Amino acid sequence: MKYRYLGNSGLKISEITYGNWLTHGSQVENDTAAQCVQAALDAGITTFDTADAYANTAAETVLGDALAGQRRESLEIFTKVYFPTGPLGPNDTGLSRKHISESINASLRRLKTDYVDLYQAHRYDYETPLEETMQAFADIVRQGKALYIGVSEWNASQLRAAHALSKELGFQLISNQPQYSMLWRVIEEEIVPTSRELGISQIVWSPVAQGVLTGKYLPGQPAPSGSRATDEKGGADMVKTWMRDEVLERVQQLAPVAADLDLTLAQLAIAWVLANDNVASALIGASRPEQVSSNVKASGVTLSPEVLARIDEIIGDLAERDPAKTTSPAHRLT
């Protein structure tokens, strides 16, 4: 496992982050989740990402239980705040001082820790003044409940405004967590250049495009039983964007590229996002421990300019690049 600095900070995180969105507390049994976390630890992963909204708080509890007994100083634990939790009262969502202050305390209890290494605004909140949000984060840092602050799926102008306020308030905004893959490249035009300027890194989710870039979905054939594309709890909705024969055919054309490098398609996809020097870590999830053990092998892989050009040629105009696709809900979801 290789490690990279997160933003313009002294914090190092593993190139592969283990995330438990769509799995822990919902899709996989707790015993299996614990085995996946152990596989991550065995592979050298030190960085773990979750959110209070995942499985309506259950994912944090599962992760806290799975990491119990580990040396806390050897881990980087990340969580998030914004989306609704609890009974969906008027203040159970968003980035108000009230919701942030209550949410960090609840997250720490579930995670069984005194602090998180990174606390992230899960989306931008148009209904709360940014000054209020950033002051609440500053207070949490001063209280020692979070060491650093990050965001998720904020656009370039939002990052710039938040970064300026964080400097005024005396804390570090060091990361953004966007979707990024060979097929979803919307951060490249505006967010990555802005982040480089500001000293912000990307922690990217869905580097294998909800499993499409693993090559397990074949054109003209039904999705394999038990795959995300057959999951009626939400997984199928997430992956349907890419379940088109023209996309699946291009993914199969990537197989020889991966084979020439002695990589699986999933490893190639993860190595591809890590080739972007503004990406500090790629988030992977898992429903089986062996998935973790395989995907971590992407860490440390160097893709030559020729390979990167070949991938661009194969994917072509199927990649989504519109920076306007980075959006937050216009109104809080209650």
Q: Which residue has the higher pLDDT, 226 or 272?
A: 272
Does residue 25 surpass a pLDDT of 60?
A: no
Confidence at residue 253, expressed as pLDDT on a 0 to 100 scale: 97
Nearest by Cα to 163 from 194, 209, 142: 194
Number of domains in the chain: 1
What CA–CA distance (Å, rounded) separates 200 from 193? 10
Minimal CA–CA distance to 64: which of 28, 25, 27, 101?
25
**What pLDDT score was predicted for residue 225?**
66
Mean residue pLDDT across the chain: 93
Please tell me the predicted confidence (pLDDT) of residue 107. Answer: 98
Among candidate residues 264, 255, 248, 251, the one with its CA nearest the CA of residue 301: 264
- Output the pTM of the full model: 0.94
**Does any domain span residue 330?**
no
Those residues whose C-beta lies under 8 Å from the C-beta of residue 35, and which sit 6 or more positions away, are 289
Q: How far apart are CA 283 and CA 20, in angstroms?
A: 9
- Distance in angstroms (rounded) separating the CA atoms of residues 244 and 174: 36
Least confident of 23-27, 113-117, 258-262, 317-321: 23-27
Q: Is the confidence at residue 187, as pLDDT, over 90?
A: yes
Q: What is the pLDDT confidence band of residue 181, given thresholds at 50, 70 and 90?
A: very high
Residue 107 domain flag = yes
333 found inside a domain? no
Q: Which position among 18, 54, 82, 180 bears the catalytic label?
A: 54
Residue 53 in domain: yes
Q: How far is CA 2 from its chain centroid?
A: 18
Residue 268 lies in domain: 3-325
Q: Known catalytic residue: 54?
A: yes
Q: What is the dihedral of CA 260, 262, 265, 268, to 10 degrees?
A: -90
Q: Is 332 within a domain?
A: no
Predicted confidence at residue 24, as pLDDT, reads 53
Asked if the structure places residue 331 within a domain, the reply is no
Q: In 10 A of CB 305, how many CB atoms? A: 8
CATH code for position 128 = 3.20.20.100
| pLDDT in the model for residue 88 | 83
